[in-house]
Structures are given as C-alpha cells and as structure tokens.
C-alpha cells in the first residue's frame, strides 16, 4: 500500500499548539482524516501559516513538497477560530496552483464547545464555510471527545 504524506498548517494564533488533536484524529481517521480510511498516511510536516496574512503559505509548501508531501491539511483551528480565517480560500487556490498539491480543510473533528458557539453565532452561514467544515463535522459524542 502506498503511503500518503501529509503536511499540516495551523493558524498562527495557535502557534503553541502541540498538535495532539490533529495527531489523534489522524491515527483514528476521524474528522478530515476520514478520507484516508483505507490508506496508510504519514504526517510529514507541521507548521504555522506565519500569521496574518499567511506569509509562510508562500514558502512552506515548497519545503513540504520536497519532502514528499502531496496533501496539505489546514488545521481545524482555521475553521473554528473567532473568527474563522478569512484567507483560507485564497491559500487553497494559491497552493494548488503554485505547487500542484491537494489542500483539505480541517484535521480533527470540531470540538463540541466550538460547534455550539459557532452554531449560536451563525458563523458558518455562507456556502464556502458550510462546505469547508463538512469533513470536520462528526456526531455529538465524537465532538465532545475533542473538547
């Protein structure tokens, strides 16, 4: 079985995040990692966007690609931060165009506490965000386990 090498980019406002939820969900194939249910994966890179407006987005994918990364995941924090990242749509287009890499929104399932707040705030009220969170929506029990 061929291994898919994955790079994770996190929002810089979470720059001290140790990645525990991302790594846990990759191992259990939950959240956005569910797309790899029948595949072997390796998280081969982990970095921040570099802070608004994403200065590291221009260069980090090149290094990732040199190391065999084919798929980049924007961590769930891009989707559940207050507010969600306003640049992720552009970041996706840029990386796919410049580096020919696949970009996926999300890593771990959205924690219930974020799901509740954003639902109440009606944050994900446009088609782009509704589509972007799809892979990170799980059942309530799973969301609670990621709180």
Residues 146, 21: contact at Cβ < 8 Å? yes
pLDDT computed for residue 19 by the predictor: 95
d(CA 23, CA 8): 10
d(CA 77, CA 13): 9
d(CA 5, CA 52): 26
Neighbouring residues of 119: CB distance < 8 A, sequence distance ≥ 6 = none
Can you read off the two tokens belonging to residue 141?
């029990």
Range of the domain at 140: 3-145
Low-confidence ranges of the chain (pLDDT < 70): 1
Task: Give the pLDDT confidence of 39-70 residue by residue, as tens digits.
Answer: 999 999 999 999 999 999 999 999 999 999 99
For the entire predicted model, the pTM comes to 0.95
Count the domains in the chain: 1
- What CATH number has the domain bearing residue 96? 3.40.50
């Amino acid at each position: 079985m061929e291994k898919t090498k994955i790079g994770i980019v996190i929002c810089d406002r979470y720059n001290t995040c140790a990645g525990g939820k991302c790594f846990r969900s990759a191992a259990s194939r939950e959240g956005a990692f569910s797309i790899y249910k029948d595949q072997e994966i390796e998280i081969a890179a982990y970095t921040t966007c570099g802070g608004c407006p994403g200065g590291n987005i221009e260069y980090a994918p090149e290094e990732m690609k040199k190391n065999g990364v084919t798929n980049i995941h924007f961590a769930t924090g891009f989707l559940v931060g207050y507010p969600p990242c306003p640049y992720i749509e552009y970041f996706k287009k840029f990386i796919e165009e410049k580096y020919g890499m696949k970009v996926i929104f999300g890593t771990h399932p959205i924690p219930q506490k974020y799901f509740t707040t954003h639902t109440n705030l009606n944050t994900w009220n446009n088609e782009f965000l509704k589509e972007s969170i799809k892979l990170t929506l799980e059942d309530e029990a799973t969301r609670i386990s990621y709180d």
